[in-house]
Structure 1
Amino acid sequence: MGIKQKLGLGVASAALGLSLVGGGTYAYFNDVETTTNTFAAGTLDLSISPDVIINVDDIKPGDWMNRTFKLKNEGSLDISKVLLTTDYSVTDAGNDNSDDMGKHIRVNFLQNLDKSGLVTPNDIIYSTTLHDLKGTAPDAVQKKIWSFFGERSGLKSGTSDNFYVQFEFVDNGEDQNQFQDDSLSLVWKFDAKQTAGESK
């Protein structure tokens, strides 16, 4: 066997030995850790009490109606906004109405008492008709006034806001006989929105 062959065989043997040592080392030095992780989504759950804010009979032009209600956040997540949308339908008793009764029912105010100051009310709605409220979406839990008193905008989990509202069947000083025995069905929808994403 020549010198080149002996040297080649020696290098091959050394490489094989190193690979066996390296392989053996890897086999004996090993560490494995396992984690079990979860992602649990929170809940948005808005409730209203009572579930019927107003149900009144035998009203006439000039009458006004005061009501109170409460919005409560029963979910695990804070609420940033509660958008109030208005819809209604009128049932004509056969008087061939030429006007919309919703134009004659006015919301004189809708106040969020929890967001109000000591002397300044926090008006979410101020003096507008049901007809004009259609197509708008005021935030019922927004603090619209500057005051040290009262809560900030939004509705934290487990808290509630109290509201005071006044409706009026407006007496416009003219003949409103076309509305006799008519009825108006009002739907107020309160749409809760989550807060912005944040680091957890």
Structure 2
Amino acid sequence: MGVKKKLGLGLASAALGLSLVGGGTYAYFNDKAEASSSFAAGTLDLNVDPTTVIDVQNIKPGDTMDRAFKLVNSGSLDIKKVLLTTEYSVVNKDGAAANVEDFADHIKVNFLWNADKLNDVIYSTKLSELKDMDPNVIDKNVFTPLFERKGLRAGSTDDLYVQFEFVDNGEDQNEFQGDSLKMKWTFEAYQGKNEEK
């Protein structure tokens, strides 16, 4: 074998040996630490107790009906705002559509401070107007004063008092005899402002 071949083989062997030695003896310190995280969303859970606010028969012009019910925050988050939407339908005694006048124009809704002070009306409107009203109006004029601007705290209850009146307008209201009005109130809860947690 020539000198060049021997020198080439020697260099190749040396390079291989150095790579094996260097790879096997390379070492360093290391350490690990772990951190766990979790996120759990809260709940908004608004309930009405009882679920039937009013169910009355045989009313006549001039009658008033006082009712109390509770708004219950069964969730884990505070409720800052409650919006109320109203739906109703009127059927006359023959089962047909409503009469010439809307029966709900003659039903007055008075939101009250409490049952003992029936004259202390927070807000008053006709049922027909309540149906078309912006829900924010009721929140601003009824719920915000009742909740004392703090909202409905998680796990708390607030009493709501309302008076319905079949208004006697002093005129002929015979067309409403035998009519029935079905009303549905939907309460919608909204969370408060964002918080730094």
Q: TM-score, normalised by structure 1?
A: 0.75
Match of 2:108 in 1: 106
Which amino acid in structure 2 is aligned with residue 194 of structure 1? Q
Query: Is there any run of 5+ residues in structure 2 with no aligned partner, and where?
Result: 1-14
Go from structure 1 to structure 2 and tell me whether the alpha carbon gap of 1:72 and 1:112 turns closer, same or farther (over 3 Å shift).
farther
User: Following the alignment from structure 2 to structure 1, what is the Cα–Cα distance between the partners of residues 152 and 113?
Assistant: 12
Match of 1:56 in 2: 56
Matched, 1:44 2:41: no
Matched, 1:131 2:135: no
Deviation at 1:105, TM superposition (A): 0.5
Matched, 1:156 2:158: no
Match of 1:165 in 2: 162
User: Following the alignment from structure 2 to structure 1, what is the Cα–Cα distance between the partners of residues 121 and 194?
Assistant: 27
Q: Is the Cα–Cα contact under 8 Å of residues 86 and 185 in structure 2 kept in the other structure?
A: yes
Moved over 6 A (4+): none
Deviation at 1:111, TM superposition (A): 2.9
Go from structure 1 to structure 2 and tell me whether the alpha carbon gap of 1:37 and 1:193 turns closer, same or farther (over 3 Å shift).
same
More helix by share: 2
Which amino acid in structure 1 is aligned with residue 162 of structure 2? V
Please identify the structure whose Cα radius of gyration is greater: 2
Match of 1:183 in 2: 180
Deviation at 1:93, TM superposition (A): 1.5
Deviation at 1:196, TM superposition (A): 1.6
Deviation at 1:122, TM superposition (A): 7.4
Deviation at 1:153, TM superposition (A): 3.3
3-state secondary structure, aligned to 2:34: coil
For residues 73-132 of structure 1, what are the alpha-carbon distances to aligned partners after superposition, in whole Å with 9 as ceiling and x for unaligned?
11000001111111110011138711100100011x21355xxxx9x9572xx2210111
Q: How many residues align?
A: 169
Match of 1:97 in 2: 99
Query: Is there any run of 5+ residues in structure 1 with no aligned partner, and where?
Result: 1-12, 145-149
Match of 1:141 in 2: 143
Go from structure 1 to structure 2 and tell me whether the alpha carbon gap of 1:24 and 1:111 turns closer, same or farther (over 3 Å shift).
farther
Which amino acid in structure 1 is aligned with residue 154 of structure 2? S
Match of 1:192 among 189, 192, 195: 189
Go from structure 1 to structure 2 and tell me whether the alpha carbon gap of 1:121 and 1:154 turns closer, same or farther (over 3 Å shift).
farther
Q: Is the Cα–Cα contact under 8 Å of residues 106 and 126 in structure 2 kept in the other structure?
A: yes
User: Following the alignment from structure 1 to structure 2, what is the Cα–Cα distance between the partners of residues 34 and 152?
Assistant: 44
User: Following the alignment from structure 1 to structure 2, what is the Cα–Cα distance between the partners of residues 104 and 122?
Assistant: 18
CA RMSD after TM alignment: 2.7
